[in-house]
């Protein structure tokens, strides 16, 4: 069927805008074909909207220059109503990297017998990320004999010195990581003995006691 001006109605007008309604027994495809509204081209302006009630659909269509009708939105019809589709995609990723860190403290050996009245020099080689070590002197029961010495690690090493304790046996030196005391090493036991030079003296070819008496065989 051709265009019928009697079926075209202006529903709203204002601010240079018009909302049109057009009812027809024609199909939507026929109405949106080029030249269908040629008879009222002067009334239809670009930017207006038209509510189209065709034989096979009801749609809200924009009017473009020409005049021509845009694709618009189908409100009802064989092509199906307007659908709103929302989709969400989420992605999670986890990564973990691990590397072994080697930390080692090696206590240098020293004499098994220490002379009273001297000092006990101790040193340790340090491997890995250790910034400070703790040196301690312990008696035969494992008790700490003050002072405990905290020493910075320099160029992979650390050293300290302890005054000799009382005469006795079973003494040990322990060195450990200041940040992790579980990482440590203990020396073998050592003794602290008297200085024999204070007991015996030599006079030419004779040995004298501490009191100066000649020792007899």
Q: Which of 4, 21, 6 is nearest to 63 (CA)?
A: 21
For the segment(s) 104-193, the CATH number from 3.30.70.20, 2.60.40.1930, 3.90.79.10, 1.10.287.130 is 2.60.40.1930
Using a 10 angstrom Cβ sphere, with 0-12 exposed, 13-18 middle and 19 or more buried, the burial of residue 37 is buried
Q: Please state the domain extents for the chain.
A: 5-77, 104-193
Per the CB < 8 A criterion, the answer to whether 141 and 215 are in contact is no
What are the pLDDT digits (tens) for 152-176? 999 999 999 999 999 999 999 999 9
Q: Is the peptide bond before 67 cis (omega within 30 degrees of 0)?
A: yes
Task: Work out the average pLDDT over 82-95.
Answer: 59
Q: According to the model, what pLDDT value does residue 95 have?
A: 75
| Global confidence as pTM | 0.48
Beta strands (DSSP E) in 46-112 are 49-53, 57-64, 68-69, 73-77, 104-107
Q: In what order do the strands lie in the sheet with 157-163?
A: 104-107, 119-127, 157-163
Q: Which of 3-7, 65-69, 110-114, 125-129 has the least mean pLDDT? A: 65-69
Q: Indicate the average pLDDT of the chain.
A: 83
What are the pLDDT digits (tens) for 12-21? 888 888 998 9
Q: Which of 82-86, 87-91, 107-111, 210-214 has the least mean pLDDT? A: 82-86
Task: Work out the average pLDDT over 22-47.
Answer: 87
């Amino acid at each position: 069927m051709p265009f019928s001006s009697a079926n075209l109605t202006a529903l709203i007008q204002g601010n240079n805008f018009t909302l049109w309604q057009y009812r027809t027994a024609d199909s939507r495809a026929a109405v949106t074909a080029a030249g269908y509204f040629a008879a009222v081209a002067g009334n239809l302006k670009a930017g207006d909207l038209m509510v189209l009630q065709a034989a096979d659909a009801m749609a809200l269509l924009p009017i473009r220059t020409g005049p021509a009708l845009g694709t618009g939105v189908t409100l009802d019809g064989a092509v199906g109503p307007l659908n709103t589709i929302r989709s969400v995609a989420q992605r999670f990723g986890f990564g973990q990297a691990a590397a072994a860190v080697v930390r080692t403290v090696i206590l240098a050996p020293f004499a098994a017998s220490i002379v009273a009245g001297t000092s006990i020099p101790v040193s340790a080689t340090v491997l890995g990320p250790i910034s400070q070590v703790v040196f301690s002197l312990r008696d035969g029961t494992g008790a700490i004999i003050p002072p405990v010495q905290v020493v910075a690690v320099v160029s992979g090493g650390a050293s300290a010195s302890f005054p000799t304790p009382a005469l006795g046996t079973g003494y040990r030196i322990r060195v450990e990581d200041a940040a992790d005391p579980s990482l440590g090493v203990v020396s073998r036991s050592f003794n602290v003995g008297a200085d024999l030079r204070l007991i015996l003296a030599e006079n030419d070819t004779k040995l004298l006691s501490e009191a100066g008496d000649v020792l007899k065989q």
